[in-house]
Amino acid sequence: MREPRAGRIAGAAIASLILASSLVGAGRAQMGKVGTSLDPQNFGQIERGRYLAITGDCASCHTVPESNQPFAGGRPIETPFGVVVGANITPDPETGIGDWSDELFVRALREGKGHDGQLLYPAMPYPYYTKLTESDALAIRAYLNTVKPVRNAVVSNKLPFPFDVREGMAAWNALYFKSGEFKPDSAKSAEWNRGAYLVEGLGHCGACHTPKTTLGGDDRGQALQGYALQGWFAPNITNDSERGLGGWSIADIVGYLKNGHNMTTASTGIMAEEITLSSSHMTDADLTAIATYLKDLPGQTARPPQAVSASDPRMAAGGAVYVDECSACHGMDGKGVPFLFPSLAGSPNVRSADPASLIRVLIEGARSVATAGEPTGPGMPSFAWKLSDDQAAAVLTYIRNSWGASAPAVDPGQVAQARARAAMASGR
Amino acid sequence: MFFDPAEGAAVEALVDRLIPPDPETPGGKDAGCAVFIDRQLAGPYGRRAGLYLSPPFIKGTKQQGPQDEDGPAVRYRKALAALDQYCRQEKGGAFVSLSDADKDAVIGGLESGAVKLDSVDGQAFFELLLGNTREGFFADPIYGGNRDMCAWRMIGYPGARYDYRDWVHRHNEPYPHPPVSFMGRADWNARKT
Amino acid sequence: MAQKLPKKDVAIIGLGWTGSILAHELTDEGLDVIAIERGPWRDAPTDFPTTYVQDELRYRIRHELFLRPEQMTFTFRNRMDQQALPIRTWGAFMPMTGVGGGGVHWNAETFRFLPSDFVLKTHLTQRYGAKFLPEDMTIQDYGVTYDDLEPHYDRFEYLCGTSGTAGNLKGQIVEGGNPFEGPRSRPYPTPAQEQPFSYTLFAKAARELGYKPFPQPSGNLSQAYENPLGVRLGPCTYCGFCEWFGCGNYSKASPQTTILPALVRKSNFAYRTECEVTRINLDGSGKRATGVTFVDTSGEEWEQPADLVILAAFSVFNVQLLLLSGVGKPYDPVANQGVIGRNFTHQTISQAIGFFDKDKFNFNPFIASGSIGMCIDEFNGDNFDHGPLGFVGGGYMGQVQTNGRPIQTNRVPPGTPAWGAKWKSGVRDNYLSTVIPGTGVHGSFYSYRDVYLDLDQLYKDRFGRPLMRMTIDFHDNEIKQNAYLTDKFAEIIKAMGAKEVVKEPRKAPYDVTQYQTTHLCGGAIMGTDPSTSAINRYLQSWDVPNLFIMGASAFPQNAGYNPTGTVAALAYWSAEAIKTQYLKNPGPLVHA
């Protein structure tokens, strides 16, 4: 499995960096325990902060789902190195951030430093939030000041050694953290710049969609070109015609982010949660700005791989499974039903180099997101009991190489891995 | 699971006359109908799970439906015992040992009521057995019968499918795909080259 | 002692079609609504997915989606002088349980009644004279007209995306549709389903005989559809697993595919599943409902207070709950008094089977949907002159075969043994070339004095309460009606080119083991006179004004059509009265 191997290599690297680096964290400035100085009656600022907190999807890490305790922390976040737990960011003075000064809060968001100067883990996406303007960061603070204080002491650091040594983050930051507010590009439109501000900043899209180095930092050279995490493959969201959003219009992107569904696809898994908590509540203008920016990210010049030959026995087998089991929703032409059953034909997801999401949906089934704009939320059943690893691999190979597409065949071993992961997850 | 060996053999013999083998299609025995019935009787169907079983059990009109105190599992047990007794007494041996003609005569007698079983309604048992045999013959193979989908092949039923849109307008044309069961069909497996 | 819950504005008993419609309408008014459903939540990908729903044994033969008789059943007898016995396993009808109710497992045949059906007593008396009707026939006018309900029929059809061809647009007869239907304000929301071979052949034969065949109005959609609530359905794929089964690919109209996704998003809507309402609670005067009592799966009793109670539990369960709660005067057939339980009806169903030459005809019967079919309406209602015929009523007829599921689709020509080699070859040789219409003749069932519901004296449910007793048999009128219709139907089957036609007319006595649709109606009927009806024209209880009773229990008699379209139209009609009249001024809406 990819993750532990990366972890082991990273562990060795970080351990040596820890020995080499001085105690960066020792240079703590004693910030006063004074609490907020923001005006609790500045409703304009508070409402702006509320919108920004939604845009940044703070709840996805800081709120335990269905706990009815917003921002009280306690939600475990799976990283390639282990589990980090989201902190309590309600105004509780002892277990939350109630006693933090506003400067401390802004520093946490934009510099990745905790209350006493300890280095935060980039599961808290400060490398992205560094782009926030001070005004936006303060607005978020103003909003969080109004949230119900919850007494909930959270220990965030649940990482195994050596990752639990926070000082190691100093070296990581040296490699991967470039502090600094967003600088607009004067050659681009205001809309593009707003989109860039959101995507590269508060939206922290790259946290899931940008491939990582073995040390877990963003591989900037392949920004937003897709990344495998938590058993899914977060797809390429550049304007690449084969693997990215090249076939989507701005309206398709906006519709997807707002409603979870568009003509050709439906959101499920982690992105479904993002849509529910975050982008479905954003303004059309902001969603359009995001789409404008993404559509301007150049595609890659990689040529698509050669298609698996139609005479390959796996194609015949996969085609038989498809006719019998898949066409009732996805159609013999692979086009599905707009807004109801995703189109497999012409789908970058289906053709992605890493088929993790595809395999997972087939093995576990999938419930698509239900939003106000698209309340139906259709689901796909699990095929785990019906298809062997070979049969599942065959039908996925078939859809990846039909209707004009070409992508590497799926290996039965990958299906077996997905089954094992699902079994482990459901046993938890 | 439910039948003892003698009962199982008798049921196999019965279903093989109800649906005899022919060169094209297996009979009830090789199709697995007895296996089907055995599993059904061992499960909720056999013990009438979910049905209204409160007393009193009063025999009513035919239109009022079954009012038996016994469920299918008990009825099979009793009927097979009574049938065995009848065959030994009247036909000189257990049902399995009779010739096909004699077996058919016994079954026909149950159907018509001419064959009377001790303390068991032979006609009612015949109806029950015939119904279960047909169920086993035509249900999905996961239930134990319809082995290799032989019954579906016989009639031209394509099995557990869900999309016939391409065939709605093709009037009076044979449907080309072979039957598929819940666990698939042979074509789902890549042919080894 | 029941634990009391916080009060809600509205408590709805049952979350099927009418429960969902009322919940949606009343939450739109800002009311705080709770729906209490006896069965479980049901949903396509988890309860009837395309991976295993095509299981005839499990769902059709073993009734897995349906109410277990152990949980609730009825007793049955044909005549009053008989001992009623429990229906220990379902046969003649299949009561549903679970969210979505019958809307999950129905065929989705979505008819409207004829205008004359709503004023039947007046109409037939005017045309044929009072003496033409049998003395013990108790038909009544509904108290609403087709015109009252037209906008609500339209609303339901557009909710569902019903697929059909209009036959009467604002009075203009349109070729291809049903020329007998009442005028509709606009066309169906989606076009009629494409018809496979046998149905097309039936239409051709019917046309040649001078009839006007039309496609059966179908809630199995011909194309993808987004309804006014933003909920989406997909196109039907003709799987042949419709009635008795849930739809695995969102192409059958049901509460799940039309209302519930929008309803569950509302903060003022709550629901409880697997909670059985055992009583509608009344105050000391007996004239006001204070809420309901229900039992959860651990046997705990709870009281849900509410200002308004909507009884939406399905026709016969509505009546049962009314009887057990002491709402309204129970019907006594001997004294001919009382209203709860009177005018109980079902449907008069028959078919004619056509055996065709297997070398010339291949019908692929497995390519079908629940509402596929071509029908004629020449013999429905009072569309034809009954004077010389000596009966009233009628029904639509058509090739409406819904499936080719093999356990039950193995008809052999008469004379073929029921088992053995000849049976086997008979099934083999006839499976693909036999037309088995199913509810091919779908006739009305009018009401009679001695066909009714009351409480049984002997058998009890799991709470120790008396089961409801059904006393029901066919009267000569329906038998004559059916014989006539079956003959006409057989002529069309013959004209299709059958080499042999087997007529199977309905025969008395009514048999509770033979499936005849689940169109159980009446027992809490609507009307203009409280001495002969349980509810007024707005479905409001005459006795308890803050209780409204949905469903086909409202029908004073059953027409020759599937009831759901009319049930839904009445629900919307009633909801409108609640919203525009009752909420502003709670109290009786009609003063008799």
* pLDDT given for residue B193 in this prediction: 64
Pull the structure tokens for residue A53: 């907190």
Residue A116 has pLDDT above 90, yes or no: no
Q: Which residues of B touch C346 (CB under 8 A)?
A: none
- Residue ranges making up the domain that contains A81: 10-176
Residue C56: inside a domain: yes
Show Cβ contacts of residue C476 under 8 Å, excluding neighbours closer than 6 positions: C134, C391
* Averaged pLDDT, A305-324: 95
Confidence bin at A13 (pLDDT 50/70/90):
low
* Averaged pLDDT, A375-387: 97
Chain C: give the shortest CA distance to residue B23, in Å: 12
Secondary structure, 3-state, A275-325: HHHCHHHCCHHHHHHHHHHHHCCCCCCCCCCCCCCCCCHHHHHHHHHHHHH
* pLDDT given for residue A273 in this prediction: 94
Show Cβ contacts of residue C538 under 8 Å, excluding neighbours closer than 6 positions: C548, C573, C574, C577, C578, C581, C582, C589, C590
* Averaged pLDDT, A414-423: 94
Residue C590: inside a domain: no
Q: How does pLDDT run across C147-188, given as a tens digit for each residue? A: 999 999 999 999 999 999 999 999 999 999 999 999 999 999
**What crossing angle do the helices spanning B100-112 and B5-18 adopt, rounded to 10°?**
80
**Active site positions of C, annotated:** 519
Residue C240: inside a domain: yes
Show Cβ contacts of residue A409 under 8 Å, excluding neighbours closer than 6 positions: A308, A312, A314, A393, A397, A400, A401
Q: Which residues of B touch A386 (CB under 8 A)?
A: 182-184
- Residue ranges making up the domain that contains C302: 3-582
CATH number of the domain residue A354 falls in: 1.10.760.10
Residue A379 to residue C43, Cβ atoms within 8 A:
yes
Residue C356: inside a domain: yes
Pull the structure tokens for residue C36: 């209490």
Cα separation, C222 vs C190, whole angstroms:
7
Confidence bin at A1 (pLDDT 50/70/90):
very low
Residue C139 has pLDDT above 90, yes or no: yes
Residue A318: inside a domain: yes
A57/A205 same-domain check: no
Report the neighbours of A using a cutoff of 3 or more CB pairs below 8 angstroms. B, C
Chain C: give the shortest CA distance to residue A147, in Å: 21
Mark which of A143, A176, A209 sits at the end of a domain: A176
Characterize C184-216 residue by residue with b for buried, 16 or more Cβ atoms within 10 angstroms of its Cβ, and e for exposed: beeebbbebbbbbbbbbbbbbbbeeeebbbbbb
DSSP state of B186: G
- Tell which C residues from 263 to 322 touch A, by Cβ distance under 8 Å: 265
Beta-carbon pairs below 8 A across chains A and B: 46
Residue of chain A with shortest Cα separation from B187: A317
A332 touches chain C (CB under 8 A): no
Chain C: give the shortest CA distance to residue A342, in Å: 12
* pLDDT given for residue A160 in this prediction: 84
Single-letter code of the amino acid located at B52? Y
Residue A335 has pLDDT above 90, yes or no: yes
- Tell which B residues from 43 to 62 touch C, by Cβ distance under 8 Å: 45, 48-54, 56, 58, 60-62
Q: How does pLDDT run across C246-294, given as a tens digit for each residue? A: 999 999 999 999 999 999 999 999 999 999 999 999 999 999 999 999 9
Q: Which residues of C touch A328 (CB under 8 A)?
A: 50, 237, 239, 248-249
Residue of chain A with shortest Cα separation from B159: A324
C584 touches chain A (CB under 8 A): no
Chain A: give the shortest CA distance to residue C231, in Å: 5
Chain C: give the shortest CA distance to residue A324, in Å: 10
* pLDDT given for residue C313 in this prediction: 98
Residue C194 to residue B163, Cβ atoms within 8 A:
no
State the complex-level ipTM: 0.97
- Percent residues over pLDDT 70 in chain C: 100
Chain A: give the shortest CA distance to residue B35, in Å: 22
Contact A363, A422 (CB under 8 A): yes
Residue B139 to residue C367, Cβ atoms within 8 A:
no
Q: How does pLDDT run across C9-57, given as a tens digit for each residue? A: 999 999 999 999 999 999 999 999 999 999 999 999 999 999 999 999 9
CATH number of the domain residue C208 falls in: 3.50.50.60
Residue A119 has pLDDT above 90, yes or no: no
Residue B83 has pLDDT above 90, yes or no: yes
* Predicted TM-score (pTM) of this structure: 0.95
Average pLDDT, chain A: 90
Residue A165 has pLDDT above 90, yes or no: no
* pLDDT given for residue A12 in this prediction: 52
* pLDDT given for residue A11 in this prediction: 53
Secondary structure, 3-state, A360-426: HHHHHCEECCCCCCCCCCCEECCCCCCCCHHHHHHHHHHHHCCCCCCCCCCCHHHHHHHHHHHHHHH
Confidence bin at A2 (pLDDT 50/70/90):
very low
* pLDDT given for residue A25 in this prediction: 37
* pLDDT given for residue A428 in this prediction: 44
A296 touches chain C (CB under 8 A): no
A337/A375 same-domain check: yes
Cα separation, C445 vs C519, whole angstroms:
10
Residue C579 has pLDDT above 70, yes or no: yes
Residue C589: inside a domain: no
Mutate to test the interface with B, among C90, C401, C419 (most CBs of B within 10 A): C419
- Tell which B residues from 81 to 140 touch C, by Cβ distance under 8 Å: 104, 107, 111, 130, 133-135, 138-140
Query: How many domains does the structure of chain C reveal?
Result: 1
Report the neighbours of C using a cutoff of 3 or more CB pairs below 8 angstroms. A, B
Confidence bin at A21 (pLDDT 50/70/90):
very low
Confidence bin at A5 (pLDDT 50/70/90):
very low
Residue C382 has pLDDT above 90, yes or no: yes
Confidence bin at B115 (pLDDT 50/70/90):
very high
Query: How many domains does the structure of chain A reveal?
Result: 3
Residue A382: inside a domain: yes
Confidence bin at A10 (pLDDT 50/70/90):
low
* Averaged pLDDT, C362-385: 98
B165 touches chain C (CB under 8 A): yes
Q: How does pLDDT run across C212-234, given as a tens digit for each residue? A: 999 999 999 999 999 999 999 99
* Averaged pLDDT, B3-18: 98
Average pLDDT, chain B: 97
Report the neighbours of B using a cutoff of 3 or more CB pairs below 8 angstroms. A, C
B152 touches chain C (CB under 8 A): yes
Average pLDDT, chain C: 97
Q: Which residues of A touch B191 (CB under 8 A)?
A: 313, 316-317
Residue A392 has pLDDT above 60, yes or no: yes
Residue A137: inside a domain: yes
